[in-house]
Amino acid sequence: MDLGTVYEADAPPSLGAERFVELVEEKSEGEVVANFFPGGSLGTEQDNFNAVSTGELDMVLGGSTGIDMFANEFMFFQSPYMMRDTEHVRNFIASDLHQDMVDRMDESNIHLLGHIFRGSRNTTSSQPFAEPEELQGISLRLPESPTWIAVWEGLGASATPVALPELYSALQTGVVDASEGPYEQMATFSLQEVQDYVVNTEHIFEVTELWIGRELYDSLSEEQRQAVDEAAEEAIAYADEEAETQAQEFLQELEDGGMEVIDPDRDALLEAAQPALERLFDEQFTVSTYDEVMALADED
């Protein structure tokens, strides 16, 4: 099986994928062998998901892109300021609503093996902010996700799509004032050289997923599927540990580079984002309601 991702080889999700490659061959006694292609060597994330859907690629390790492409009515759980914390995300993953999402992805021949927790997405900025009103007019670099753009613009930021490889130069030249992403992205792109502040907005508790072609998965023997499932579970647990450890190391690197860390009024940001999110539930997230998803935050 060929497994593609746009993540670099040393990113925690990729380390998990490498572990999956080792484990699945061991557990299947050599009947299932996987080849891992990191760093976008098999194309963009969109390319990878399309290829799995059509059967041209066996597996993909990717973020919310696939869900945005094939089941975007479920994108709420990876939308800014929707989920209260990591436990809220875990409660969603344990819910019937999540199973509906898995079934929806299966319809496009993309089967979920599991979620890797990457940690929170935060913000870098050339000017400090801690309250929603201080976001007014800040030009924020975002990926081309209509959902993310809608929420951030609802908060008053000016969303500016910039390709990730151009992020450093866009911040350096003032094309944008701010960026968002995990600490890993901030540090590996050396944003401490062109930004003064890390703002712990924790606007998304990010997961990335390991997917396999549904038809391929169904074609495996029961023993082979068990090997794939067990290898994925163990590899994901390993990637989760790596992500947690590396996040603190990356944050320390940013602070050592001179960035000041700000803890904003997150409750105020959550409240300010609610109107934009409620509109998205009316227009896009029609499988549920804002209140239903928020109720998952309180489940034990």
Distance CA 139, CA 1 (A): 42
DSSP state of 259: P
DSSP state of 134: G
Joined together, the tokens standing for residue 129 give 């902010």
- Across the range 161-182, mean pLDDT stands at 91
Distance CA 63, CA 79 (A): 12
- Across the range 114-122, mean pLDDT stands at 94
- Residues, the chain: 300
Tally the domains of the chain: 1
| Residue 259 predicted with pLDDT over 90 | yes
Distance CA 242, CA 210 (A): 16
User: What is the CATH classification number for the domain harbouring 130?
Assistant: 3.40.190.170
Label the pairing between strands 59-62 and 2-4. Answer: parallel
The string of pLDDT tens digits covering residues 184-231 is: 889 988 999 999 999 999 999 999 999 999 999 999 999 999 999 999
The string of pLDDT tens digits covering residues 119-143 is: 899 999 999 999 999 999 999 999 8
Average pLDDT of the residues of the chain: 95
Q: What is the pTM of this model?
A: 0.90
DSSP state of 140: E
The string of pLDDT tens digits covering residues 248-258 is: 999 999 999 99
| Residue 299 predicted with pLDDT over 80 | no
> How confident is the model at residue 300, as a pLDDT?
64
> How confident is the model at residue 165, as a pLDDT?
78
Looking at the chain, list the stretches that DSSP marks H as alpha helix, in order from N- to C-terminal side: 12-27, 45-54, 65-70, 86-93, 96-106, 146-154, 167-172, 183-188, 214-219, 222-256, 266-283, 290-295
Range of the domain at 139: 2-298
Confidence of residue 14 (pLDDT cuts 50, 70, 90): very high
